[in-house]
Structure 1
Amino acid sequence: MKLAKRLILTTTALAAVTAGTLLSATVGQATPSQPARTGVEIPAALKVPDGNRLSGVFSAEGVQTYTCTDGAWKLLEPAATLSAKNDRSQRPVALHSRGPVWVSTVDGSAVTAAAVATSPKTGTIPELLLKSTATRGTGAFADVSYIQRLNTRGGVAPTTACTGTDQVSVPYSATYTFYKPAN
């Protein structure tokens, strides 16, 4: 029952943030020497190691879903739609969900990653450096080595008390930058 409820919530959250023509979108590619267009200085802890090149910059809009666990709000999952940062139409090109995983809606490629560094920000979820743990396919997310979550806004867990199996989805936005090995 809990799994079915979680699946329904995940599907509902993804559907809510995935309006648009997903399959007709194209993935914007960044050039290897192009800096991430984030508008802020990247904290030293979140810098991608040498030997990697920028392969994509995407804007994300979605939710961070929290569940009540032992009387405290705990992150259950993100659900976000990514759009090519350099595409003026902001057409969706990928989905981000629990894992965390990013899946291209254009070519089906995917990347799963784990956080290796964090940089807290006041009033918003922290910025992150994530390292790829697995990739699938031959498209945009094939061979991704690192991901940065930058320019975060919102998504913070409620400060109010919770009881039982309460869940809440909090809107957030971020910029995700993807890197591949330079070789």
Structure 2
Amino acid sequence: MKNTRTPLRAAGKSLLCTTLMATGTALIMAACSSTPPLPREYSQDTLPQAVMVPTGHVVALETRASGVLNYECRPTPSGPYGWVLMSPKANLLDRTGKDVVAYSGPPARWTHIDGSSVVGNQVSVASNGEYNLPLQLSRAEPSTGTGALQNISFIQRIKTKGGVEKTMPCSDLTAGKKVTLPYQADYIFWRPM
């Protein structure tokens, strides 16, 4: 007499393997094809009033900067000597991590990889700790070139880390001394609605 359990058992194992392979393949394909959602659009709810952009403007570009600030010990209008910013230099990355804007100065200038650029004039600042650059709001001058920085109205500098010299004295004895400090910040570019 023939044993019928062996063909049924083999068919069951085959069906189970096929089901597991199909399910596993579907899960892997779904995981590989889905992209993570972009972070929530920037909000200025937690910023000091002094650096908030007025209503009637929308975010055009959110960036994160990493760079250096070059200072020189010089006489200043507000006192005898102080660390005077001579030139900033930073690369700004967009929300996807792509290097899209170069920051330089003076005057403060942001140049996008598409050729558009904008110059900013400081409107106000708010403290962000003793060793961090202050938060800043700048009004944009009319931009040059067409592209991502066209029609920008305001530039915010927020989430600053570093960039302030407090450890080296600056006096007539150290006049002319130069120092380069690393810093990080987020720059948010706004345009009218």
User: TM-score range, shorter-chain basis?
Assistant: 0.7 to 0.9
In structure 1, list runs of 5 or more residues that go unmatched. 1-29
Which aligned runs of 4 or more in structure 1 are off by greater than 6 angstroms? none
Partner of 1:113 in structure 2?
120
Partner of 2:188 in structure 1?
177
Distance 1:169 1:37 in 2: 31
Match of 1:166 among 177, 186, 190: 177
In structure 2, list runs of 5 or more residues that go unmatched. 1-37, 76-80
CA contact (8 A) 1:131 1:145 kept: yes
Identity %: 32
The structure with more radius of gyration: 2
Per-residue CA deviations over 1:103-157 (Å, capped at 9, x if unaligned) read 01x2110000111111111121100011012311111111100010000000002
Amino acid across the alignment from 2:145: G
* TM-score normalised by length of structure 1: 0.73
Query: Equivalent residue of 1:73, what SS?
Result: strand
1:1-183 matched pairs, under 5 angstroms: 35-36=41-42, 41-70=46-75, 71-84=81-94, 86-87=95-96, 90-98=97-105, 99-104=107-112, 106-122=113-129, 123-162=131-170, 163-182=174-193
Q: Which has the larger share of helix?
A: 2
Per-residue CA deviations over 1:6-44 (Å, capped at 9, x if unaligned) read xxxxxxxxxxxxxxxxxxxxxxxx9xxx64168x81111
Q: Which has the larger share of strand?
A: 1
RMSD: 1.9
Distance 2:178 2:72 in 1: 4
* TM-score normalised by length of structure 2: 0.70
